[in-house]
Amino acid sequence: MNQSNQTALIDTHALLLTLQGLAEALKNPPRTLKPDDRLWDADTVADYLSVTRRHVIERYACLPDFPAAMLLPTSSESKAQRRWKPTDIRRWAERRQESKRSLN
């Protein structure tokens, strides 16, 4: 077998392995979450509202109309992790903006 035939055989084998890997990946596609399916932590809420994490925790989260956080357990004895639904935070921000407009 000459060198060009050997190279073609190696390239064909590599292509076959790549195709087999792709076919296997298509059998079990990764689950993709839509942005609103993911819960937000305090940092993400802060980014959305353009404030600091501390501001979210100390000033907004204690307001009676602020969406209640879901408390996710942790593996340690530390505090539970707070998470919010993005739609709840967006709705809260919109209501707040509307109430400010109605005061003006």
Total count of domains within the chain: 2
83 pLDDT band, cuts 50/70/90, is very high
Q: Say how far apart CA 60 and CA 70 lie, in whole Å.
A: 15
- Exposed e or buried b per residue across 68-86, where buried means at least 16 C-beta atoms within 10 angstroms of its C-beta: ebeeeeeeeeeeeebbbbb
Q: What percent of the chain has pLDDT over 90?
A: 47
**Per-residue pLDDT tens for 25-55?**
888 777 777 777 899 999 999 999 999 999 9
Q: Say how far apart CA 36 and CA 84 lie, in whole Å.
A: 10
53 shares its domain with 72:
yes
User: Are 42 and 83 spatial neighbours (Cβ–Cβ below 8 Å)?
Assistant: no
Domain range for 7 is 1-30
- pTM for this prediction: 0.63
Cα Rg of the chain, angstroms: 26
10 shares its domain with 45:
no
**Per-residue pLDDT tens for 54-67?**
999 999 999 999 99
